[in-house]
Amino acid sequence: MAKATTGGTPAKTPDSEKLTINLGFVDLGQIELLVKEGFYSNRSDFIRTAIRNQIERHAETVRQIVVRKSVDLGLRHITREELTTAQAAGQMLDIRVLGLVVIAPDVTPELARDTISALSILGTLNASEAVKSALADRMS
């Protein structure tokens, strides 16, 4: 979750998300051995490296899917101004993101429902609980 706004300073957007995985004893033992022998600084370093290697291995496939599905890649900020502009133009937004979507804290649940027709996120949504609830039936 983002840190609260203090003294006019904008809330900080998180740069990672914590995951929990279950590993077999043998796999975990092999990771521990590689850490102990100095190949990796810790378990997390090993796991991040393994994930990056797999993502790199499939990079072309991901690129093709992103192009085919018209997906925004990375961080997508949705501001109150963007939504009020869409509302004034009578437009509904179909938002597709591979990464992180941050809906500004000043966006009301009503404004979000009036302007976002669909929200597809392969990653993380950072928004108020009220906005998440208002969009729950539009998220895939």
* Every domain of the chain and the residues it spans: 21-57, 62-140
Return the pLDDT at 3: 36
Residue the block writes with tokens 């192009």 = 67
Q: What are the distances in angstroms from CA 52 to CA 8, 41, 48, 82?
A: 36, 16, 6, 33
Report pLDDT digits (tens) over 87-102.
999 999 999 999 999 9
Q: What is the token pair recorded at 45?
A: 């370093």
Return the pLDDT at 10: 53
Confidence of residue 2 (pLDDT cuts 50, 70, 90): very low
Residues 71, 94: contact at Cβ < 8 Å? no
Q: At what angle do helices 43-57 and 25-36 cross, to 10 degrees?
A: 110
Amino acid sitting at position 87: Q
